[in-house]
């Protein structure tokens, strides 16, 4: 057990090291320099440019830049090129904004997909199954921002609730229940949108897992024992079908960053994805790299957690 | 191993003209095509046949476990202690499954749920049909496991299936089947996946259990050797129909159906040393594309023109020995 | 009594197949008939393909029938099916059918012509991106699965790192460091050549032993690369690279392709691993057939089914990704119309000219849906194990 954890941590550290190199190379070898972002800007006189380059070690060879950057990252001193703020405090602030969106979205996804998937697996081929199958394909296939606009139009026209941003502008003076309702309205639409794709994919996956398991011999054994169908489906089948989802559970963490760019942009939600997008626009390398690094850490941590969870839930795996 | 007991009374299980068809790819596969058989109390009845001839399907349909959509019981009756199982509702069937009729499956490796302990699965089988306190349940389970010959049963209760050997898992399956003292145990090739030595142990176990508990066993196998060792009564199945029935003596000494004759001829034995082993030409027809007339006629050495057209009748040879081959029946009349 | 002795000749039809044989195509047609959604998907897919081809023909050339780039500022934001105002337009500006089938956009361009052109561009983006990812995926997965047990020596890794690093450094004008690395790379070749003669290995000094020792297996190496690639949040990575590179339709295709091969690699590897152990491969090897032929003639046809399925669904995903990039302003740049950028341009007029949003949006929805349905249907057709479960 301990040796597994040790090996896993070492392996993931090595992976992380390579990720850091690759992302650094991608950013720095791509044509275009941050100093060229706005050559017309009168503030960017050659002297300032030089000072700028010196300050951020842009005049040094690439590997020295790499060392400087990751030294800064690990000592927490990295600052954004754009506004000289600490990258970590920026990310933390945005992270707190993204968190409710992420939590609500994930909750909706996981609480809806499982009942839907299980039900359509049990009644496969029936009306319910066919309807949900078609609906989930529909949701997978719709371009996210198109769907978002359709929903926004619908909500704005029918409920007369403005839904852009985290709260309605100037609402701070109104009563507390009103504020809470307003917050919920603003949270609801983006998180539902963020969840739709997930629901569609996850429920399909739940369905196919359940079908896979329902065909196994031990399900027949359970039925031959005379167990009621509920116990057969929800105890014997579901428990086995659940195993692969432990892996997926580890992979939802990175969704905090990558998945939300478009939705946060549409709803002007000041979250992580939106920040990353702005950083890309401004070629704010420290922010881009840090976001990338953090998300790689999240991915690796997620897989690590899911490996550990697998040990717990699958008795066949013993170390 | 002797003649069928004369004092039949009503049989424990009587299957009448059972037809199970599978629908798929626009074709209808006639997996079980009108079979009838009986199992009397305290008897071991064997159904023999090549793989794919509908043995398992006929067993599963007794418990109502035919997977449907594709499968469907088209017609027939299955009487168990006087009631027709096919007319019962799901709730009553659940009460019969595992309680009055238990089943042991072919693959002990995959028939136990990998994520629950032996104790969980065994206890579940018991507590579904009986109410028992936790303490007495545990004692009962330990008793069951030692009955089926599992060493140190107390520790095995907390083991997961993958920690046991194949033979031990099959013993657990048998313990599970025995847990509610069923009147009938269906054993679907319980020894096929096991080593020959383990196979002998399991057979011995089944035999001793049957003597102790006086229950009936419906034993399904493709292995004539196994069958000859345990059967009181034998049914030979071919392509969804019953080809021949009789006791061991009748079937093994004087088989009356070309298929049974072929099966026996293809058994290796010391007297056939050095000779080429016989094999029945061809293979079992796909249930969706069965030949007309007698389903065995394409592989039969005695085929005459009527075999291709007419579905053969059962011919009675006396003492319950019957075979579905009028050709040989007539030949017998002339020669004897 | 023993029938073996009076064995008569078996009738011919015994040896007939158990079930009538179908060719793959017959099977395919039959399955399509049963899986109506997949059939619908296939139908729309073919229709879309024809649209894209006719669109390409009708909208390209110097004097296209439908001119997607024709700007008519007087006629902007006209709803669908409206008639052009003939007085305001020069004769060559009048749309072909004398009607704006799908209206006009904010520059008065004919949306129908733009949709026709965009169909081809969207299709190309999807196909090329998926082509790249499938190619890399099969290549990497095939190597990992088939040659996975082979080991790479430390010296080889050193050699390649030096080579790539050296070339890279020379390319970014760090000539000195680059040349140094290339020299190191050269010396490693010399070392390798010299070491080859000097067997037995026992006498080698420790450092040479390490350099010539097995470092990692091919399989491990490739799967670690896959792990590294999976650490990047894919859409964010695509966005970053596309934003940094000069805007061009080719860059988008290449970047989408280069960032989506990991899934294909994984299951091609799994497929190869299991197929490699099968008897027919052993038989082929026993016949002395070369690795190359075994891979392409014997294993590949068996592994191609899941690739085909994921490619079909991959095209759908690529079209959606392109639309998402367009929305964020990093899509295919202006001279090309794609459904993605028509849609994202339309979002600014969503209340005044909803057709600019709804026409491309629904078109993308239908096409992507058809790809997904067809892909899933294909999975059922090609995977007999799953067939009875659906």
- Shortest distance, CA A111 to any CA of chain C (angstroms): 24
Average pLDDT over residues B205-219: 86
Confidence at residue A32, expressed as pLDDT on a 0 to 100 scale? 59
The answer to whether B4 contacts chain A (CB < 8 Å) is: no
B24, B282, B286: residue with CB nearest C388: B24
Q: Quick one: average pLDDT of C107-127?
A: 85
How close A142 gets to chain C, by Cα (Å)?
5
Asked if residue C224 has pLDDT above 50, the reply is yes
Instruction: Tell me if B299 and C15 make a contact (CB, 8 A cut-off).
Output: no
Chain C CB contacts of A124 below 8 Å:
389-390
DSSP C235: H
Mean pLDDT for the stretch of residues A118-141: 88
Q: What percent of chain B has pLDDT over 90?
A: 3
C357–chain A Cβ distance below 8 A for any pair: yes
**pTM score, whole prediction:** 0.80
Say if residue C18's pLDDT is above 60. no
pLDDT digits (tens, 9 = 90+) for B84-116: 888 888 888 888 888 889 998 888 888 888 888
Q: What is the pLDDT of residue C387?
A: 45
User: Do the domain assignments include residue A21?
Assistant: no
- State residue A35's pLDDT score: 53
Which CATH number covers residue A102?
Answer: 1.10.3720.10
Question: Is the model's pLDDT at B335 over the cut of 60?
Answer: no
From the list B246, B314, B221, B223, the residue with the least C-alpha distance to B17 is: B314
Q: Which of C297-301, C358-362, C378-382 has the lowest mean pLDDT?
A: C378-382
Count, residues in chain B:
336
- What ipTM was estimated for this complex? 0.83
Q: At what angle do helices A176-214 and A87-122 cross, to 10 degrees?
A: 50
Which pLDDT belongs to residue C132? 93
Structure tokens at B298: 């394409």
pLDDT of residue B126: 87
The mean pLDDT value for C171-197 works out to 72
Give me the number of domains chain A comprises.
1
Residue ranges of C 240-279 with Cβ closer than 8 A to chain A: 240-241, 243-246
Q: Tell me: the pLDDT tens digits for C241-285?
A: 888 877 788 888 888 898 888 888 988 888 888 888 888 888 888
Chain B residues within 8 angstroms (CB to CB) of chain C = 24-26, 70, 255, 258, 261-262, 265, 278, 281-283, 285-286, 288-289, 298-299, 301-303
Task: Please tell me the predicted confidence (pLDDT) of residue C209.
Answer: 66
Contact by Cβ (8 Å): B261, B330: no
A26 touches chain C (CB under 8 A): yes
Best residue in A215, A217, A224 for a mutation probing chain B (most B CBs within 10 Å): A224
Choosing among C11, C28, C33, C385, which should be mutated to test the B contact, i.e. which has the most B CBs within 10 A? Answer: C11
Element (H, E) at C163: helix C154-171
Q: What pLDDT is attached to residue C128?
A: 92
| Inter-chain residue contact B97 with A223, CB threshold 8 Å | yes
Q: How many residues does chain C have?
A: 390
Report the sign of the C-alpha dihedral through residues C250, C256, C258, C263, in that order: negative
Give the chains touching B; criterion: ≥3 Cβ pairs < 8 Å.
A, C
pLDDT higher at B28 or A135: A135
What's the pLDDT at C131?
A: 93
What is the CB neighbour count within 10 angstroms for residue C310?
Answer: 23
pLDDT over 50 (residue C390) = no
C342-355: per-residue pLDDT in tens?
888 888 887 778 88
Residue B6 has what pLDDT?
A: 45
List the chains bordering chain A where 3 or more Cβ pairs fall under 8 Å: B, C
Write out chain A residues lying below 8 Å of C340, CB-based.
143
**Cβ C320–A141 below 8 Å, yes or no?**
yes
- Stretch A150-174: mean pLDDT: 74
Instruction: Judge whether residue A48 has pLDDT over 70.
Output: no
pLDDT of residue C290: 84
Assign C195 a pLDDT band (cuts: 50, 70, 90). Answer: low
Looking at every residue in chain C, the average pLDDT score rounds to 78
Residue C81, pLDDT above cutoff 80: no
DSSP state of C12: G
Instruction: Please give the pLDDT value at position C8.
Output: 38
Domain extent listing, chain B: 13-100+181-270+279-284, 112-179
Find the chain C residues whose C-beta atoms sit closer than 8 A to any C-beta of B: 1-4, 6-8, 10-11, 13-15, 18-20, 30, 34, 388
| Cβ-based neighbours of A236, under 8 Å, separated by 6 or more | A218, A219, A222, A227, B113, B116
More confident residue, C93 or A269: A269
Q: Which residues contact B23 (CB under 8 A, 6 or more apart)?
A: B29, B69, B70, B71, B72
pLDDT given at position C56: 84
Q: Distance between CA atoms of B110 and B172, rounded to whole angstroms?
A: 13
User: What is the pLDDT at residue A34?
Assistant: 56
Q: Is residue A35 part of a domain?
A: no
Residue A242 in contact with partner chain C when CB distance is under 8 A: no
**Cβ atoms C121, C249 nearer than 8 A:** yes
A295 touches chain C (CB under 8 A): yes
CA nearest to B327, candidates B294, B278, B279? B294
The answer to whether C275 touches C148, Cβ cutoff 8 Å, is no
Give residue limits of the domains in chain C: 47-69+109-150+218-386
Query: Nearest to residue B203, comparing CAs of B171, B179, B175, B234?
Result: B171
In this complex, do B113 and A125 lie within 8 Å of one another by their Cβ atoms?
no
Whether pLDDT at A71 is above 50: yes
Residue A40's pLDDT is what?
53
User: At the fourth CATH level, which superfamily is domain C47-69+109-150+218-386?
Assistant: MetI-like (1.10.3720.10)
Nearest to C14 by CA among B53, B293, B288, B299: B299
The mean pLDDT of C171-186, rounded to a whole number, is 74
**pLDDT, tens digit, for every residue of B111-141?**
888 888 899 898 888 888 888 888 889 998 9
pLDDT-derived band of residue A171, with 50, 70 and 90 as boundaries? low
The per-residue pLDDT for range A18-46, each reduced to its tens digit, is 888 888 888 877 665 655 555 555 555 66
Average pLDDT over residues B273-300: 81
* A272 touches A309 (CB < 8 A): no
How far is it, in rounded angstroms, from Cα B169 to Cα B174?
9
Count other Cβ atoms within 10 Å, centred on residue B319: 12
Read off the pLDDT of each residue in C99-105 and give the average, rounded to a whole number: 75
> pLDDT over 70 for what percent of chain B?
95
What are C136-169's pLDDT values in tens digits?
999 888 888 888 788 777 777 777 777 777 777 6
Residue C385 has pLDDT above 70, yes or no: no
- pLDDT in the model for residue C129: 92
DSSP A165: S
What distance in Å separates the CA atoms of residue B203 and residue B223, rounded to the nearest whole number? 12
Scanning A215-284, the segments in alpha helix (DSSP H) are: 217-224, 229-230, 238-241, 243-251, 261-266, 272-282
CATH topology of domain B13-100+181-270+279-284: Rossmann fold (3.40.50)
Q: What is the pLDDT of residue B95?
A: 86
**A155 domain-assigned:** yes
* Residue A311 confidence (pLDDT) above 60: yes
> Which tokens belong to A209?
């897992």
* Domain-embedded: residue A44: no
What is the pLDDT at residue B336? Answer: 47
C52-91 b/e (C-beta count within 10 Å ≥ 16 → b): beebbebbeeeebebbbebebeebbebebeeebeeeebee
- In the prediction, which pLDDT does A116 show? 92
> Given a contact as 3+ CB pairs under 8 Å, which chains touch C?
A, B
Facing C361 at nearest CB: one of A26, A61, A146: A146
Of C149, C135, C271, nearest to C221 by C-alpha is C149
Domain of residue A107 covers 94-285
Three-state SS sequence of chain B: CCCCCCCCCCCCEEEEEEEEEEEECCEEEEEEEEEEEEECCCCEEEEECCCCCCHHHHHHHHHCCCCCCCEEEEEEEEEECCEEHHHCCHHHHHHHECCCEEEECCCHHHHCCCCCCHHHHHHHHHHHHCCCCHHHHHHHHHHHHHHCCCCCHHHHCCCCHHHCCHHHHHHHHHHHHHCCCCCEEEEECCCCCCCHHHHHHHHHHHHHHHHHHCCEEEEEECCHHHHHHHCCEEEEEECCEEEEEECHHHHHHCCCCHHHHHHHHCCCCHHHCCCCCCCCCCCCCCCCCCCCCCCCHHHCCCCCHHHHHCCCCCEECCCCCEECCHHHHHHHHHHC
Average pLDDT taken over every residue of chain B: 84
């Amino acid at each position: 057990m301990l040796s597994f954890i040790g090996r896993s941590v070492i392996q993931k550290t090595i992976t992380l090291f390579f990720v850091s190199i690759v992302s650094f190379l991608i950013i720095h070898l791509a044509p275009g320099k941050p100093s060229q972002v706005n050559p017309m800007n009168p503030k960017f006189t050659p002297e300032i440019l030089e000072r700028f380059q010196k300050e951020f070690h842009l005049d040094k060879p690439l590997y020295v830049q790499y060392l400087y950057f990751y030294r800064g990252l690990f000592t927490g001193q990295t600052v954004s090129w754009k506004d000289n703020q600490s990258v970590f405090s920026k990310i933390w602030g945005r992270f707190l904004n993204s968190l409710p969106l992420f939590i609500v979205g994930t909750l909706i996804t996981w609480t809806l997909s499982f009942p839907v998937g299980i039900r359509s697996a049990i009644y496969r081929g029936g009306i319910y199954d066919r309807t949900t199958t078609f609906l989930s394909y529909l949701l997978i296939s719709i371009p996210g921002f198109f769907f978002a606009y359709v929903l926004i139009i619908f909500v704005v026209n029918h409920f007369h609730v403005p839904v852009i941003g985290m709260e309605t502008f100037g609402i701070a003076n109104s009563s507390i229940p009103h504020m809470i309702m307003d917050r919920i309205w603003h949270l609801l639409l983006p998180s539902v949108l963020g969840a739709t794709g997930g629901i569609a994919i996850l429920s399909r996956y739940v369905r196919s897992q359940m079908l896979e398991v329902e065909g196994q011999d031990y399900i027949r054994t359970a039925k031959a024992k005379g167990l009621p169908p509920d116990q057969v489906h929800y105890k014997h089948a579901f428990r086995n079908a659940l195993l692969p989802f432990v892996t997926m559970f580890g992979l939802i963490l990175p969704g905090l960053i990558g998945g939300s760019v478009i939705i946060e942009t549409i709803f002007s939600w000041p979250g992580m994805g939106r920040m990353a997008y702005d950083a890309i626009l401004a070629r704010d390398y420290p922010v881009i790299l840090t976001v990338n690094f953090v998300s790689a850490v999240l991915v690796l941590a997620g897989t690590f957690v899911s490996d550990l969870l697998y040990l717990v839930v699958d008795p066949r795996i013993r170390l | 191993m002797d003649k069928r007991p004369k004092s039949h009374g009503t049989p424990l299980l009587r299957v009448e003209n059972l037809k199970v068809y599978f629908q798929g790819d626009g074709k209808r596969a006639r997996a079980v095509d009108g079979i009838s058989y009986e199992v009397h109390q305290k008897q071991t009845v064997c159904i023999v046949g090549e793989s794919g001839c509908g043995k398992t399907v006929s067993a599963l349909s007794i418990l109502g476990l035919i997977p449907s959509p594709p499968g469907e019981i088209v017609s027939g009756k299955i009487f168990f202690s006087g009631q027709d199982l096919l007319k019962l509702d799901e709730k009553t069937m659940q009460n019969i499954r595992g309680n009055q009729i238990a089943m042991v499956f072919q693959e002990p490796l995959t028939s136990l749920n990998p994520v629950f302990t032996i104790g969980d699965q065994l206890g579940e089988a018991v507590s579904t049909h009986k109410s028992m306190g936790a303490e007495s349940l545990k004692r009962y389970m330990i008793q069951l496991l030692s009955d089926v010959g599992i060493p140190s049963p107390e520790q095995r209760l907390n083991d997961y299936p993958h920690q046991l050997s194949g033979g031990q898992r099959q013993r657990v399956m048998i313990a599970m089947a025995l847990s509610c003292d069923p009147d009938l145990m269906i054993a679907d090739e319980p020894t096929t996946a096991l080593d020959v030595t383990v196979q002998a142990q399991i057979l011995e176990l089944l035999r001793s259990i049957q003597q102790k508990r006086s229950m009936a066993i419906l034993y399904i196998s493709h292995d004539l050797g196994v069958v000859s060792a345990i059967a009181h009564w034998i049914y030979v199945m071919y392509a969804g129909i019953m080809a021949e029935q009789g006791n061991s003596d009748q079937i093994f000494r004087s088989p009356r159906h070309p298929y049974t004759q072929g099966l026996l001829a293809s058994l290796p034995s010391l007297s056939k040393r050095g000779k080429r082993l016989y094999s029945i030409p061809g293979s079992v027809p796909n249930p969706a594309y069965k030949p007309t007339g007698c389903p065995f006629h394409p592989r039969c050495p005695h085929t005459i023109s009527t075999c291709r057209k007419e579905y053969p009748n059962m011919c009675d040879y006396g003492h319950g020995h019957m075979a579905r081959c009028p050709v040989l029946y007539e030949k017998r009349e002339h020669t004897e | 009594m023993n029938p073996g002795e009076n064995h008569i000749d078996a009738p011919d039809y015994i040896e007939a197949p158990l079930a009538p044989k179908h060719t793959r195509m017959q099977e395919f047609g039959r399955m399509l008939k049963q899986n109506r959604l997949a059939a619908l998907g296939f139908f729309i897919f073919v229709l879309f393909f024809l649209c894209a081809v006719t669109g390409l023909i009708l909208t390209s050339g110097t004097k296209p029938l439908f001119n997607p780039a024709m700007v008519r500022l007087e006629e902007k934001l006209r709803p669908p099916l409206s008639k052009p105002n003939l007085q305001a337009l020069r004769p060559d500006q009048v749309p072909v059918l004398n009607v704006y089938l799908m209206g006009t956009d904010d520059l008065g361009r004919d949306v129908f012509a733009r949709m026709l052109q965009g169909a081809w561009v969207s299709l190309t983006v999807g196909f090329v991106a998926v082509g790249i990812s499938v190619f890399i995926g099969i290549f990497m997965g095939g190597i990992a699965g088939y040659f996975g047990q082979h080991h790479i020596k430390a010296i080889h890794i050193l050699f390649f790192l030096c080579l790539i690093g050296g070339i890279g450094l020379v390319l970014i004008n760090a000539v000195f460091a680059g040349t140094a690395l290339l020299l190191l790379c050269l010396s490693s070749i010399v070392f390798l050549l010299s070491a080859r003669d000097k067997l037995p290995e026992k006498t080698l000094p420790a450092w040479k032993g390490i350099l010539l020792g097995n470092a990692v297996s091919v399989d491990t190496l490739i799967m670690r690369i896959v792990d590294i690639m999976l650490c990047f949040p894919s859409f964010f990575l695509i966005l970053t690279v596309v934003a940094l590179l000069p805007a061009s339709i080719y860059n988008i295709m290449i970047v989408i392709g280069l960032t989506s091969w990991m899934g294909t690699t994984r299951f091609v590897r799994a497929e190869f691993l299991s197929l490699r152990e099968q008897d027919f491969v052993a038989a082929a090897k026993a016949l002395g057939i070369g690795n190359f032929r075994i891979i392409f003639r014997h294993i590949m046809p068996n592994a191609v089914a899941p690739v085909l399925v994921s490619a079909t669904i991959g095209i759908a995903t690529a079209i959606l990704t392109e639309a998402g990039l367009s929305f964020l302003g990093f899509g295919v740049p202006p001279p090309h119309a794609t459904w993605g950028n028509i849609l994202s341009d339309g979002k600014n007029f969503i209340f005044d000219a909803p057709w600019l949003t709804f026409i491309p949006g629904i078109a993308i929805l239908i096409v992507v849906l058809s790809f997904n349905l067809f892909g899933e249907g294909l999975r059922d057709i090609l995977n007999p194990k799953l067939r009875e479960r659906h």
